[in-house]
A and B are shown apart, each in its own frame.
Chain A
């Protein structure tokens, strides 16, 4: 007992913090249908602003409360600016582009924060009253944890009142159910959306400031928090406030006990809970099925083989790429090798996401599985590279099949979230199973054999594999299977009624994507000489999304163009400026606003302008 109660209360305190973040995220999603990747960044800003304010104020409780509220208000104001400058311009874009834009904001805010407050972690010196303890059932409990435990239900109550007792709240609830109808009734949507975003940002800021006494303001908050918040929101059901509350209790308590009992697999446990919940309740604990959007997304344009001129251009580029070792130095060759890996990474994601209609937030999982398959084989069994390059796609495909067994029935955001969950589980295993994977240190000495060690030969190998896989996937997409996959995406009821096995089509797409991506992972590992858990990070998964979406989903060349542009841009930025995240993020945001159909899509549209019947 003396262990259970304090641990339970710690869990409840954690649950309150989670709820502050998740409630804002879920309300914003409910009304605007945007999954706001930058919500964690808003919390991070809240923490930094809170630190700046609180360290300048007297250290009494009443000043603490005022300071925290001021931080929340300041974050809300930042939220308003964000909504007006960025989000408002992408409400009509496809949902993945919105996500991409908010991820651009994450990058920008990361550099802005770094620039304003520096890289050093900023702990808040705790005044005496915050260090107090309360004796409950024979155990000493931190006073501040008890305060936090009270804040969760308090905020839930206030939000409930705001949503059920005010005109504004009625509008928010109505917009969550059917925003088209709310617009038809003549409600000013802009004001509604801005105010909702401000509220969500304010809650995140509040959460950030309140987290200070127990931790610190640091640059890792944004991505770590957003993952937890996604889990809570998805488990609770997107758009459901009560669901978010219940889920944050569940996850908070689970984390507290997990850390005590099975510290190594806590993260795995959390994501497993999410996976189990989604298998049994595909819309989360208290979520409703997403209503069909009335303003239907742009109809996918007809996929036709590229015009002859473009195909000739592609051939010319391929020939130029093959001749590159005679023209470029070793550094350029290593960047080009990276670009080949990026092409594998992007075309495999495009395969499942474009024609397959299954957006993945965790594509790095297959990359990492391929990399570790090759790395572990070499490390433990001394298996040489050719077999590693064979084992990697096999492993990627196998795990994709296992995972696919329970995701092919899900759709939309939930499917994306489960792929994210799977990637995080894979990451946690690679990070924490130190005896086998060497954890954070990574597997080192993963080099190619003698004959492939020169940058030139290795580049040709990478180019051959990347071009081969890309052409193979293209071939598959123009074959009956590829058409059937696209048919299942276009209209699942129609596909079934002509006798297509939709789940199986999608399953095979996942396996193909997983295998191709796994090959990319292995190729990357041999090029870098090591395998590290960072290969499976969220940031890496987002890179894949960026490449595909930058290039555009609707053309087969899109992911390749995207991969090349992204690799070039990233390399250029990293070399030329310290603020590369800021520039990259801003470029992403601008691109999403300017080309909602991707770069290759825009080129194609200009090319075909007036030629399409």
Chain B
């Protein structure tokens, strides 16, 4: 069964059809890239899956259960992790505490007023930090981390609730090219190991063709192509509207 099934998703802003009739699915362990030119409706699509925007029509199923129009919080509790285009972490906490928060929230241990946080689920947090390569920085303040490390921290936080589906909105925006590939290969490995479905939007075609299993191309709110890297690269319509004629990969 697919982890995520999206059917007939639709959203208008005023008179503008931002997304019309978009359907797709993501299988466990699969990485699906959502690409398209600016204004194609990627983020809108994404926010409807993540609960930030309610769709006008359509359904979103997570492992067969509808999550359409639920709040981001409810969706998180059903096993969806997410990272943001502009990193969002808890600046007044250490790196480890950031992950501890995710673990506490996942176990619904937030409404406790007495026992201190210090040390709770610290092993589990350190294990997650180790997986993303941040173990050495666990005690540092989040605010002093390099940007690439923040992105990896976000990934560790998102993994904190053991997600079946991971949503990544432009995960490599603002990173140096070498770091981009490293981060996405890390994600690739985690997806395979955990059988976690990953849906991500991305502008860097190197990254897209490198790590994704399948690619969806959106244009003006409509799904215009779907397939693996090779077929998307060969698709003349995609080349026309998205990559431009005679395009090569590697545009930033």
Whether A and B are associated in the same complex: the answer reads: yes
User: Given A497-B76, A499-B161, A302 and B105 touching (CB < 8 A)?
Assistant: no
User: Which residue, of B100, B110, B120, B140, has the highest number of chain A Cβ atoms within 10 A?
Assistant: B110
Question: Are B110 and A301 in contact, CB atoms less than 8 angstroms apart?
Answer: no
Which listed residue (A487, A493, A613) contacts B144, Cβ 8 A?
A: A613
Contact digits for B152-164, partner A, Cβ 8 Å, 1 yes 0 no = 0000011011000
The reply to whether B117 and A478 form a contact with Cβ atoms under 8 Å apart is yes
Report A282-325 CB contacts with B as 1/0, cut-off 8 Å: 00000000000000000111110000000000000000000000
Residues in chain A near residue B139, CB distance under 8 A: 613
Q: Mark B174-199, 1 if CB is under 8 A from A, else 0.
A: 00000000000000000000000000
Decide: B90 and A301 in contact? CB cutoff 8 A.
Answer: no
| Nearest B residue (CB) for A483 | B117
The contact sample of 22 A-B pairs, CB cut-off 8 A, is A299-B91, A300-B143, A301-B143, A302-B94, A475-B113, A476-B113, A478-B116, A480-B111, A480-B112, A483-B100, A483-B104, A487-B90, A489-B92, A490-B89, A490-B92, A491-B90, A493-B84, A496-B72, A497-B50, A497-B84, A500-B110, A613-B139
- Per a CB cutoff under 8 Å, which of A299, A476, A482, A494 touches B157? A494
A62 near B: Cβ within 8 Å?
Answer: no
| A498-B88 contact, Cβ under 8 Å, with A480-B117, A481-B112, A613-B141 | no
In angstroms, how far is the closest chain B Cβ from the Cβ of A324? 30
A478 to B118, CA, bound (A): 8
Task: Please indicate the chain A residues that have their CB under 8 angstroms from the CB of B93 in the complex.
Answer: 302-303, 483, 486-487, 490
Collect the chain B residues with CB atoms within 8 Å of residue A489's CB. 92
Does the CB pair B89–A475 fall under 8 Å? no
Known: A300-B91, A475-B114, A486-B93. 4 other contacts (CB 8 A): A301-B92, A481-B112, A491-B90, A497-B72
Task: Determine the distance from Cα of A487 to Cα of B98 in the docked complex, in whole angstroms.
Answer: 9
* A613 proximity list for chain B (CB < 8 A): 139-141, 144
Interface, chain B (partner A; CB < 8 A): 50, 52, 71-73, 76-77, 81-82, 84, 88-94, 97, 100-102, 104-106, 109-118, 120, 139-144, 157-158, 160-161
Q: Is A3 an interface residue (CB 8 A)?
A: no
The reply to whether B88 and A479 form a contact with Cβ atoms under 8 Å apart is: no
Given A484-B104, A484-B110 in contact, is the A299-B143 Cβ separation under 8 Å? yes
Residues of chain A whose beta carbon lies under 8 Å from any beta carbon of chain B: 299-303, 475-476, 478-484, 486-487, 489-491, 493-502, 505, 612-613
Distance between B143 CB and nearest chain A CB, rounded to angstroms = 4
Pairwise interchain contact B112-A479, C-beta atoms closer than 8 A: yes
Query: Would you call B73 and A302 a contact (CB within 8 A)?
Result: no
- A479-B117, A498-B160, A613-B140 in contact; A484/B105 too (CB < 8 A)? yes
Q: Across the interface, which residues of A come within 8 angstroms of B76, CB to CB?
A: 496-499
When distances are taken between beta carbons in the complex, the residues of chain B under 8 Å from A486 are 90, 92-93
Known: A478-B117, A479-B117, A481-B111. A498 touches B106 (CB 8 A): yes
Report B-chain residues with C-beta under 8 Å of the C-beta of A482.
113, 117
- Residues of chain A contacted by B91 (CB below 8 angstroms): 299-300, 490-491
Task: Return the chain A residue nearest B142 by Cβ.
Answer: A302
Beyond A301-B141, A483-B101, whether A496 also contacts B114 by CB under 8 A is no
Whether A498 lies near B102 (C-beta < 8 A) is: yes
Contact at A497–B111, with CB atoms within 8 Å?
no
Tally of A-B Cβ pairs under 8 angstroms = 119
Residues of B within 8 A of A496 (CB): 71-73, 76
Q: Are A499 and B105 in contact (CB under 8 A)?
A: yes
Contacts of A479 in B (CB 8 A): 112-117
Q: How far is the CB of A351 from chain B (nearest CB, A)?
A: 12
Asked if A480 and B104 make an inter-chain contact with CB atoms under 8 angstroms apart, the answer reads: yes
Residues on B with beta carbons closer than 8 Å to the beta carbon of A497: 50, 72-73, 76, 81-82, 84, 88, 158
The A interface is mostly helix, strand or loop, or mixed, namely helix
Instruction: Give CA–CA (A491, B143) in the complex, Å.
Output: 13
Residue of B nearest to A476 (CB): B113
A612 to B81 alpha-carbon distance, docked (Å): 31
B141 neighbours in A (Cβ, 8 Å): 301-302, 612-613
Looking at the assembled complex, report how far the CB atom of A491 sits from the nearest CB atom of chain B, in whole angstroms: 4
Which residues of B have CB within 8 Å of A499?
73, 76-77, 105-106, 161
State which of A299, A491, A500 has its C-beta within 8 Å of the C-beta of B105.
A500
Q: Which residues of B lie under 8 Å from residue A483 when comparing CB positions?
A: 93, 97, 100-101, 104, 117
For B144, give the chain A residue with the smallest CB separation.
Answer: A613
Q: Which residue of B lies closest to A554 (CB)?
A: B92
- Residue ID in chain B nearest A502 by CB atoms: B73
Q: Which residue of B lies closest to A298 (CB)?
A: B143
Taken together as a complex, chains A and B put the C-alpha atoms of A500 and B160 apart, in Å, by: 13
Contacts A479-B115, A491-B90, A613-B139; is A484 near B144 (CB within 8 Å)?
A: no
What chain B residues lie within 8 Å of A301 (beta carbons)?
A: 92, 141, 143
Chain B residue nearest to A494 (CB atoms) is: B88
| Nearest Cβ on chain B to A611's Cβ, whole angstroms | 12
Q: Which partner residue on chain B sits nearest A354 by CB separation?
A: B92
The smallest C-beta distance from B33 to any residue of chain A, in angstroms, reads 20
Highest count of chain A CB atoms <10 Å: which of B77, B94, B101: B101
Question: Closest CB of chain B to A193's CB: distance in Å?
Answer: 29
Taking CB atoms, residues of chain A closer than 8 Å to B160 are 498
Closest to B82 in A: A497
Bound-state Cα–Cα, A303 to B92, Å = 6
Nearest Cβ in chain B — how far from A501, in angstroms? 6
A484 touches B113 (CB 8 A): no
In the bound complex, CA of A505 to CA of B142 (Å): 22
Q: Point out the residues of chain B lying under 8 angstroms from A484, CB to CB.
A: 101, 104-105, 110
CB-defined contacts of B102 to chain A, threshold 8 Å: 498
Contact of A498 with B105 at beta-carbon distance under 8 Å, contacts A299-B91, A491-B88 already known: yes
Across the interface, name the chain A residue whose C-beta is closest to B101.
A487
Instruction: Please name all residues of chain A whose beta carbon is closer than 8 Å to the beta carbon of B116 when the two chains form the complex.
Output: 475, 478-479
Q: Among B52, B90, B109, which residue has its beta carbon within 8 angstroms of that of A480?
A: B109
Q: Which residue of the partner chain, among A480, A490, A494, contacts B110 with CB atoms under 8 Å?
A: A480
Please measure, in the bound complex, the distance between the C-alpha atom of A499 and the C-alpha atom of B90, giving whole angstroms.
Answer: 14
Query: Across the interface, which residues of A come within 8 angstroms of B142, CB to CB?
Result: 302
Residues of A contacting B161 in the complex (Cβ-Cβ under 8 angstroms): 498-499
Across the interface, name the chain A residue whose C-beta is closest to B103.
Answer: A498
Chain A residues positioned under 8 Å from B140 (CB to CB): 613
Bound-state Cα–Cα, A613 to B84, Å? 26
Kindly provide the distance from the CB of A467 to the nearest chain B CB, expressed in whole angstroms: 18
Of B117, B144, B158, most A-chain CB atoms within 10 Å: B117
